Every structure is written in C-alpha cells, then in structure tokens.
Structure 1
Amino acid sequence: MTPRPAREHPPRQASQRKVLSVLVGGQVLGGVGMGATLSLGSLLAAQLSGSPAWAGTAATMSTLGAAVAAIPLSRLALARGRRVSLSTGALIACLGAATAISSAALGIFPLLLLGLMLLGSGSAVNLQARFAATDLATTGTRARDLSVVVWSTTVGAVLGPNLFGPGEAVGAALGLPPMTGAFAFSVAGQLAAAAVYLTGLRPDPLLQSLRAGARTEAPEPPQTGRQILRRNNRARYAVAVVALSHATMVALMSMTPIHLREHGASLTIVGFTISLHIAGMYALSPVFGWFADRVGRLPVVLAGQATLLASLLIAGLYSDSQAGVTVSLILLGLGWSASVVAGSAMVAESVAGQDRPALQGISDLSMNAAGALGGALAGPVLTAAGYSGLGFLAMVLVAIVLAWTGLRARADRTATPAVR
C-alpha cells in the first residue's frame, strides 16, 4: 500500500469539523442585530416616508436584496471559493447597515430602501453558508452538517428582538439618530463575520471539493442553474421543495401578527407566538438533519409536509383561538425546518461538484422569490377569505409537494439511486 504523502491536506473529517466551526461562528456574528434591524427598518420606513403604508417595504427590500445577491455570490464562490463569497456578502450587508444609518441621519427614504436591499445580502450569506457546510461532507453526514449551520441562525433570531434597548443606548452614546443603534450592531457583526470567513476558511472547502472531484471525475464544463433545472429532474424537485415550503411558511407567518392583533391579542402574545415559531424553524434542525441522513431525504420531506398540512388545518379550523394559532405556528416552523433541511441536502447532492454553486444559487433565488410572492399574495387572501381561508388555500402548495414527492419516490424505486 502506498503511504499517504505527508504534505497532503488534513483528512476530510478534520477539515469538515473546522469548516463547520467557522460557519457557525460567522453565522452567529452575522446574525447579531439582523433580527432587530429588519423590525426597525419597518419603523424607519414609516417615519421617513411619512406613511405607515410604506412600512412593509422594509421586508420587501431585504428579501429582494437576498434574491438579487444569491446568484452573483454563488458565481463568486465557484470562481474564488466560499471564503471570498461569504466575506463579500457580509461586507455588502455591513455597507447596507451603514447606509440605513445614513438615511435616518439625512432623512432620505430612498436611501433607506437601498440600505435595506444591501442588508439583504446578509440573508443570502446565511443561505449560502448552509450549502458551504456540504462541500466536504460525506453522504452519511451531509444533511446533519447542513442542519447545524441552519441551527446556528437561532442565536441571531433570539438575540435580535432583545437588542432594541441596548441598540438605542449604544446609538445615543455614538450620536446616531433614533432607532438606528441596532444597525450599528449589524455593522460590527457583519465586519466580524467577514473576518471570520476570510481567516477561517483556509483551505477553502469548495475549492478543496472541486479539486478532489477533478481528480476522480471526468472534467466537464459547469452548467448554469437554469440548464441544470431543465435537464435534472431530481434537482428540479429539490429546488421546488425548498421554494414551495418557504412560500407556505411565509404566507401564513407574515399574516399571523395582523390576525392576532385584530382579535385582541397583546403585543406580548404576538411576540411570544412568533418567538415559538422561530424556535420551531431552527432549534430542531439538527434532529431533522440526523433523520435525513439515517432514513433518507424523501421520508423527512414527507414528514415536513405532513407537519405543514397539520399546521394549515389547525389554522383553518381554529383561527379564532389564540392557543390554536400558536400551535399552528409552532408546527409551521417545524414543518418548514424538516422540509428545507432535507430539500437543501438534496439540492447539494443532486449534481456534480462543479455544478453545485450554480444550482445552490438558483435555489436560494427561488426560495426568496417564492417567499416574497407568498407574503405579497397572503395579504389580499387574508382580506378576502380571512385567516382560515388563507390556511386552507395554502394547502395547495403542500399538495403539490406531496404529489411530486410520490412521483419522486416511484422514480427512485425504479432506479438505483446514489443517495436515498
């Protein structure tokens, strides 16, 4: 047996542990202030525009920014590696937070919209980081490794709402305009995250993976994301699972605060309900990742869709009950988590290494676009059919995924799949 060269890269397992530690650290740092800034963005939009009707543009511009950044960042990752791509996205988000502070100081509403759009790049980094966790992962640990990075988002989600007070204190000390202190936290957090990615992702996991693939596979020119979706049924299914599950979640979740307030719920109840929903989205993601590696991706997708279906059914039948709505939102988060973790693992493994960044970019673009569309359509549906009608109508999206999953399972049974 030929001994292994002494100067070769560390074993893949050791490299992967380091990559996961760096990604989790970057996610935690990048998430500091993000939750608070999105909420404060709505308040600033209403203040600078002079009308509360413009408050919703904060979330819209942030989502649009994440969608716009998805494909350029994926192309940058393929050309220069995850280290450059993730740090660039974090620096763009840092610039967005600084621009938002400037907009408040100058009283320029369009400048705020630009800042929020740039800040959306931080969300694009969050999404790409979960795929970066799969670059060196093995088939048996891919979903679990991905889910650990998804789980780390919990830290920022929990910290965010609690940074309003400290942010204002820091902002006042720095002489910043009111309601912009949390943006200063985002500036610092994104700068720190960029530094972590730049220094920690050495050697770069994607470039390592591509080099390993070049040694073991016949080199082929990389495809674009659209080419992959046209030619690869498994990739098309995986992207659809992630996008439709996200649209289902955003549609119901975005209208829940309005529905609860209309039925007399206090802001405390509304905040508590959304907090439980966010916990459902992220806290158990490693559990779903472990199951996806143990029993296969499709069973976990089915479990996630069944949980989403139960959530929507409860929302439809018990919309007048605060307890019912809370249970529905918890299940909504759990169903989203199971579906997105398993679906994202399928996205990562449905193509060869050189094609993964392109497919991952179009998956993130589709996810953000579907979420934005789901949130935009949910308002008119709520007005026309009520919260119950919204819950029942959203079942159509779940039905599409369930039907497609049945077809996918049948196709897998007639072939010899590389991955369950």
Structure 2
Amino acid sequence: MGEPINVPLLDLSAQNQPLAVELKDAFARVLDSSQFILGLEVAGFESLAAESAGARHAIGVSSGTDALLLSLMTLGIGPGDEVLCPSFTFFATAGAIARTGATPVFVDSLESDFNIDIDTATGRVTDKTKAIIPVHLFGQSADMDGVQRLAKAHGLAVIEDAAQSMGATVGGQQVGTMGDLGAFSFFPSKNLGGFGDGGMITTDDDDMAKHARILRVHGGAPKYYHKTIGGNFRMDPMHAALLGIKLSHFSGYLARRRANAAQYLESLAQCDHVAEGRLTLPAEMEGRGHTWNQFTLRVANGKRDVLQSHLAANNIGSAIYYPVPLHQQECFAHLPNFGESLPVCEKMAGEVLSIPIYPELTEEQLGHVTDMLANAPL
C-alpha cells in the first residue's frame, strides 16, 4: 500500500511558501523604511484593493470584525437603534452591532444559499430599525436585489458583510459595492488570506470614506484634535505590503477554488447519498458568481458527526460552520426575542459540514475526498 493521502481543511503553506521570495522582499522593504504606522504601503494596498473590488474607496483596517464595527460607527449606529442581521453567521456580525450599543435583530436564512431570508427580514422592521447587514456567507452573495428593495422601502443603511466573499459577484457587480459600505476580512483562511488579522472597508461615498478614515485613528482630525470618538482600527504597513503580494495572485486563487468546487459538484452528484437525499450539495445561485470560501455540505438524518468522524479516520479535515445560531447564544439572552424559533438556521446548524476547498488541492486529494464521501456510512 502507498502512503495515506492527507487532506487538511486548509493548507496555508501550500499557498504562501511559493511566494516566499516576494514576501520576504516586501518584509525587508517595510523594515528598511521604518514606516510602521499607515503611510505609503497602506495607501498603496488600498488603491490596488479598491481597483480589484470595483470600489471608489478602500480603507485598510485591523480586522474584519473592526471593519464591521467601524462601518456601523461611520453610520452613527448606536443605543436605541436596531440592525437586522442573519442568525446563521460568524459571531462578529452581531457582536459588532452589540458593541455600538445597538440591538441585533436576528433573521432566519434560506435553505438554498445559507443567506438571509429577505421576506422574514421585512417582518422584522420597526421604527427603530436603522440598518441591515446581509452576510455573503461561504463565498456567495446574499440576495442583494431584495436587500436593496427592503432598504429603500424603509430608509435603511446597508452594510455588506463580505468577510468570506471577496471577489463574489451579482450580475457581474462585486460584493462590497452594492450597499453603503462593505466589510472584508483578510484572516488567513479567507479568499485573500493574510498573515494575521486584517480587514478592509469599501464605499463609493466620499464623505463616508473621509469619516471612516478619521474614526480609524481615534477620531482625531487633525491629530490630537477630536470632535468625535473613534478607535485604533489601522492596518499595519507590514500586513499591507504582504497582502499586496498576494493580491496580484488573487484571481488565480479564485479560479482554482471554482475549479475544485466544479469537480466536487460533478463527481458527488453521481453518488447514492446525494441522489437519495442523505447528502445535500451547495449550489451557486443563478446570476451570482460564487467564490467558494467554504464548500458546505448538509448531512441528513442526524449523521453529520458520523460523517465527520469517517472523514477524520481517512485523514480528511472538516469543520462545522456554525454549530449554534446567534439567536441561541447565551450572551444575547437579554434580548427580547431570545429563545424564539428560527427553524431554517437551527436545522442547518445541525446538518452543515465544510470540507477542503482551498486552491492548492491536488487531483489526488480531490479524488480522495469524493471517494470517502461516496463511501461514507450514511
């Protein structure tokens, strides 16, 4: 027998090591400059990132979480306000709302694409609702036509949570450019994965961009003169320089993610588990360009943990994104709707399992994953 095939959920070395010479040159450039706070490296990356995203402005920040928080602060969201957001998402979406003193109002999701259910969201609007945060989960855009109709009808601001979906599109338009503000993450596992925490805000509004940049540096304009309270949300020049190297390879990363997803979809569509409803494959919705930050299966009949154990026994990584919806998290027990039922996201939390989809997967690894899924004891 040959060596066992190992397929980790993510292999950062496979992506970063081929760029080692370029990355070390960028590191040396920043080291030699002794410019370690903002400056030309950050401004240069912002210019490239804005062009890549199709936005007028890109503002580099300290994390994807801070991109959400700073976006809310830029809009003046605070105590007494309500913000609509999906319950089935990473904690930062609602955590950022709560940190402003506003109230997150949780909305159920759609089974078709894991994203926010606009019909349900419509019924949650009150006279306190000031904004909606659609999350483009797992690499695919939410229904932005529906989001924009809802926002226009009720005078709501729109913050796109595009942390997992840089490069995703709707009708050819990129996420992060359809709302008032877009929030991105450069956490190492993201489509454009960095070297620690990092994030970005996009907007086409000059005044919002100016205000966000002031809030990014404690609200000082000029320095040491404060008409407003901001925070320390700066992106580091070192991180900007390293991300700039990877940004030039970004389109290739997305193309390989899409190729891997296409291979999974074609191969797994033929297996009995899918045909007989024990396993549900993710889908790319018509008119949307999926970037496949995650390839998330749904496992029926309470067999999700069985499948995860089977994969682990065969050296295949997987993860559950997310096991507990936000409306059931203990930290939100004080909210008036705590304990309510959001049936779709609760069902998904018991069924979802994400498998390796990173760009550097080999044909052998992809084949091993599909074989083990097809032969799983479901």
Query: Do Structure 1 and Structure 2 share a fold, with TM-score over 0.5?
Result: no
Instruction: Give TM-score scaled by structure 2 length.
Output: 0.27
Structure number with the higher strand fraction is: 2
Instruction: Give TM-score scaled by structure 1 length.
Output: 0.25
Structure number with the higher helix fraction is: 1
